[in-house]
Amino acid sequence: MKNTLRQRIGEQFSLITLLLWALRVGVFIVVLWGSINTLASGRYEASTWINLVIAGLAQGSIYALIALGYSLVYGILRFINFAHGEVFMAGAFTSVFVAEALERSGFFPKYPILTFAILLIVSMTSSTVVAVLLERIAYRPLRNAPRLVPLITAIGASFFLQYTFRGLYGSGFHTYPEFGQLWGVWNIAGMDIQIVQVFVFLASLLMMAGLYLIVERTKTGKAMRAVSEDKEIAALMGIDVNRVIVITFVIGGMLAGSAGVIRGMYQPQGIWFFMGFHPGLKAFTAAVLGGIGNIPGAMLGGLFLGVFETVGPTLILQGLGIPAANQLKDAIAIIMLVLVLIFRPQGILGEKLAEEKA
Amino acid sequence: MNDNNKPILELKNVTTHYGPILMLKDVNVEIRPGETVCLLGGNASGKTTTLKTILGMVVPTEGDVILAGDKISGLNTTEIVTKGISMVPENRRLFKRMTVLENLEMGAFIRTGSKGIAEDLERVFELFPRVKERLGQRAGTLSGGEQQMVAIGRALMANPKVLLMDEPSMGLAPFLVQQTFDIIQQINEQGTTVFVVEQNANMALSIANHGYVLQTGRIVLADTAKNLLENKMMRQAYLGEV
């Protein structure tokens, strides 16, 4: 009896499962220990945490807008468009010149809302054009190639776009003009809340709500879902699959373009040809975190990642005595990606990866 | 048989290859308006290839597919579907994460004019009262029989001139097979031309006007369903008679 019991335990707890459990427990203890230490030290008040969460939501909503582009394309083509960060860059980088010109001419201070609308149109248009050209030139010829081929192409396209835009616009940093009205604070219940953060969050929510309505309610949205489930049968319904794929890239490009303007308003500095790499990586993390291919998952993943990387360093790392914890927010985001891939590869909302998707 | 009646769907000397491999050789099939025609044959006999050829998923290397007098071979699937052919695919292949209603809407994707669509939706509800009860449910949560109903309903929503059915008996319990063929007969009686591809020869011939037998890509028998049921070779090869 004893032997068989031991054997059975041996079968269930192989070395790898043991290691994974140890990792799980270890992560849990570290997170708990750090958080308790930080909270016990009493250095921060409740309002600080609330401010951090709001800042995280603002940051996260930008990630979410970009993450949706990854997820939409993955849902339809089962492929990660690694050049999507550059689609975002194209919008922000192009619109910054318009913004600078409008500021110089004095138009911007007079009509800030109209300026915002113009920037949004410029940014969304340039991002969309880049996304559609990518699909047409780089990805469509490889539609039936093995999966690794378009993936590598996407990475190549990413570099190509970065240096094309460097060639077009130069390698210097540009700065979005400040939307002065947004940079005040609201005092709510004794807390200072930055208006810009609330604005960023609400603007992104509006975009996402729009996307959700398109996908759920319109004929085009339904066709997109049909194509993402079964291209052959979708074609049998008379759906033009190529057209749906282009529309998907258009929507992803529009969301990324809007994220570009919102990023420029929230963090006006550092607009240059390389600005897409980091948010692209974060948004990809967010998309995987939420469940790649899943639209609400990308929204949730983005917001969660934003909050986690804003609150996490202060809450967890500072309690562990790590100096300058705030500079480790990228590390914490990537560690989370690794942990998600180990423990829940399908993401928060993802369904179990069916064979056709895996 | 009414000889003056021109075929609505016709395969004329169709030869099809997958790469270098010969799949269909000189296949001739005629389907007249209002008829039910079945195409019988075992595994790998070319039944599914025939359907794929009709739908433009495979382009014939020789011969033509003709729908209501117009050549459709060479067009893409979307164009062919728009011209009035719809199919109930093998294993139903519903959009499982979409609701039943959305699946039916996808069936009518190519159509404009909400009045006609609404009428056909009613027609589907009359044929399958169960489907009406399940409209808001995700198609993936339905039972096999219910999925079959939705798949047929989805194909009918295109209001096709010719309805193609690929192995409707596949993967269904025997009583559901009987029910499915009753439905096919009913649909045909309502005026839709049906082309059924089946392994279950008895069942298919019981509702068909004409039958074709396919063997390794060639039509080896073509006759009225009644004659085929009595054909000696047919009985031995396909109807389980020793």
Domain ranges of chain B: 1-84+162-171+192-242, 91-159
- Which segments of chain B have a pLDDT < 50? 1-3
- For residue A262, the Cα-to-chain-centroid distance in whole angstroms is 13
Instruction: Check whether A194 has a pLDDT greater than 60.
Output: yes
Instruction: Check whether A355 has a pLDDT greater than 50.
Output: no
Q: What CATH class has B1-84+162-171+192-242?
A: alpha beta
pLDDT of residue A159: 94
pLDDT of residue A337: 85
Residue A11: pLDDT band with limits 50, 70, 90: low
Structure tokens belonging to residue A180: 């002065």
3 state SS of B8? coil
Say if the ipTM goes beyond 0.85. Answer: yes
pLDDT of residue B1: 45
pLDDT of residue B242: 52
pLDDT of residue B150: 93
Cβ separation of B57 and A240 shorter than 8 Å?
no
Structure tokens belonging to residue B108: 């009518």
Show the DSSP H helices in chain A as ranges.
2-12, 15-41, 46-77, 84-104, 107-110, 112-133, 148-169, 195-217, 219-229, 231-236, 241-266, 277-290, 295-312, 329-343
Cβ separation of A225 and B105 shorter than 8 Å?
no
d(CA A252, CA A182): 27
Residues of chain B whose C-beta is under 8 A from some C-beta in A?
55, 57, 77-78, 81-82, 86-87, 89, 93, 95-98, 102, 105-107, 109-110, 154, 158
Which chain A residues are Cβ-neighbours of B154 within 8 angstroms?
237
pLDDT of residue A351: 65
A-interface mutation test, from B106, B111, B112, B162, most A Cβ less than 10 A away: B106
- Over chain A, what is the mean pLDDT? 88
Cβ separation of B95 and A240 shorter than 8 Å?
no
Q: How many CB pairs under 8 A join A and B?
A: 53
Which chain B residues are Cβ-neighbours of A235 within 8 angstroms?
77-78, 81
Cβ separation of B106 and A229 shorter than 8 Å?
no
Closest approach of B107 to chain A, Cα-based (Å): 6
The predicted model gives A217-246 an average pLDDT of 93
Measured N-to-C along each axis, helices A241-266 and A219-229 cross at an angle, to the nearest 10 degrees, of 110
Q: Does A178 touch chain B (CB under 8 A)?
A: no
Closest approach of A315 to chain B, Cα-based (Å): 39
pTM score over 0.95? no
The domains of chain A are located at 68-179+190-275
A-interface mutation test, from B76, B78, B101, B114, most A Cβ less than 10 A away: B78
Instruction: Check whether A357 has a pLDDT greater than 50.
Output: no
Residue of chain A whose alpha carbon sits nearest to that of B157: A237
pLDDT of residue A162: 93
d(CA B33, CA B10): 11
Cβ separation of A235 and B86 shorter than 8 Å?
no
Residue of chain B whose alpha carbon sits nearest to that of A243: B78
What is the tens place of the pLDDT at every residue in A273-309? 999 999 999 999 999 999 888 889 999 999 999 999 9
pLDDT of residue A346: 85
